[in-house]
Structure 1
């Protein structure tokens, strides 16, 4: 019985094992002072990835249609540059990209509620590197959001 329990805790991860022992982690966003659900709550990974896919698709269409003549590597490079500029301009001014707006998300700073252009620049540069966005904390925030001190919430 002990082997089965040990294997089960290994498969479900350390968080599940600690929760079975009585640890209370609360809900995602609780440490940040965000509500558990509804407007202002932390955005889930599915919506964030879908918004990223919409934005990336839009940038690919722009790069393919306006800038390149069909050369695939150049299209991807131009799309990344367009994505960076789009992200800096839209997040730094209105707080969301077209994909985020379509899916009901917004990037905010917890202290002020708005994202400054400097923070948007840092967040976008780290997002384009991809690795910081793939490392998440306990609340589900990417490392790029932690470094820029921003959070993606539902609107």
Structure 2
């Protein structure tokens, strides 16, 4: 085998754990704790919260669609997305939590002032990319922030 293939096939010579500094964790650059209340929420818990939100939105949109004689697939999809948008934007704006976040113990914090609830503008700014990026689920920064968090200047943390 030629010499050059042996160099890249052997790998970098370090493990992923060695590449990470022991003094960094998701949220460390934001001044958040490593674990417990206020720590960045894990991806799996955020997915569970989002699935709960989708289920709640599906139930609510089903109630709305019950008043239509024969809703089309497009009407069902539009109603589901509309309810998900309104639920996410309003609840995050007013309480800092969606229904799914409340169930899983998560909360949305404003990076500039974590003591205040996000507010309506932040709720909407955060929800638009969330709905638009449903196909990009899983793309997060090192600090566990998605596209929607970056746009709104927020971070999702454990509330309990």
* TM-score where L is the length of structure 1: 0.83
Is 1:33 equivalent to 2:31 in the alignment? yes
The count of corresponding residues between Structure 1 and Structure 2 is: 147
Alpha-carbon distance in 2 for matches of 1:33, 1:42: 10
Q: Of residues 128, 139, 143 in structure 2, which corresponds to 1:139?
A: 143
Q: Runs ≥4 in structure 1, deviation > 6 angstroms?
A: none
> 1:8: how far off?
8.5
Question: Who wins on radius of gyration, i.e. which is larger?
Answer: 2
Q: CA RMSD in A?
A: 2.4
Deviations 1:20-76 (A, max 9, x none): 3x5527111100100000000000001101110001111111112322545333212
Alpha-carbon distance in 2 for matches of 1:23, 1:106: 27
Gaps of 5+ in 2: 1-5
SS at match of 2:30: coil
Gaps of 5+ in 1: none
Alpha-carbon distance in 2 for matches of 1:88, 1:151: 15
Q: Which has the higher contact order (CA 8 A, sep 6+)?
A: 2
Alpha-carbon distance in 1 for matches of 2:92, 2:103: 14
Equivalence for 1:124: 127
